[in-house]
């Protein structure tokens, strides 16, 4: 069962969220919009971590471009 998270937003942020969710918007509900934002942030973090691991490997002389690109594509996809 999904857990609820209640968030207080200032009026300007609430208006923005409302503009992104509803009958004429991409998202049906504010919750759907927020879930998508969180998923995108998780994906961005995963890509960022892959890039940092690749830089660390490169500094140690262990960098293999195909391995790095494969992981990066997996993280993006």
| Consecutive H or E run containing 28 | none
- Using a cut of 0.75, tell me whether the model's pTM lies above it: no
So what's the pLDDT on residue 17? 94
Number of structural domains in the chain: 1
So what's the pLDDT on residue 24? 85
So what's the pLDDT on residue 68? 64
So what's the pLDDT on residue 51? 81
**What averages of pLDDT result for each successive group of 10 residues across the chain (77 residues)?**
90 95 91 95 88 81 69 69
- N residues, the chain: 77
Contact between residue 63 and residue 54 where contact means Cβ atoms under 8 Å apart: yes
Does 75 fall in a domain? Answer: yes
The residue range of the domain holding 73 is 40-77
Does 34 fall in a domain? Answer: no
């Amino acid at each position: 069962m999904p857990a609820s998270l209640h968030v207080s937003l200032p009026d300007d942020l609430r208006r923005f969220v409302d503009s992104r969710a509803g009958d004429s918007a991409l998202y049906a509900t504010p919750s759907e919009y927020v879930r998508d934002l969180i998923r995108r942030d998780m994906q961005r973090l995963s890509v960022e971590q892959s890039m940092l691991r690749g830089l660390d490997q490169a500094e140690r002389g262990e960098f293999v471009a195909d391995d790095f690109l494969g992981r990066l594509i997996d993280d993006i996809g």
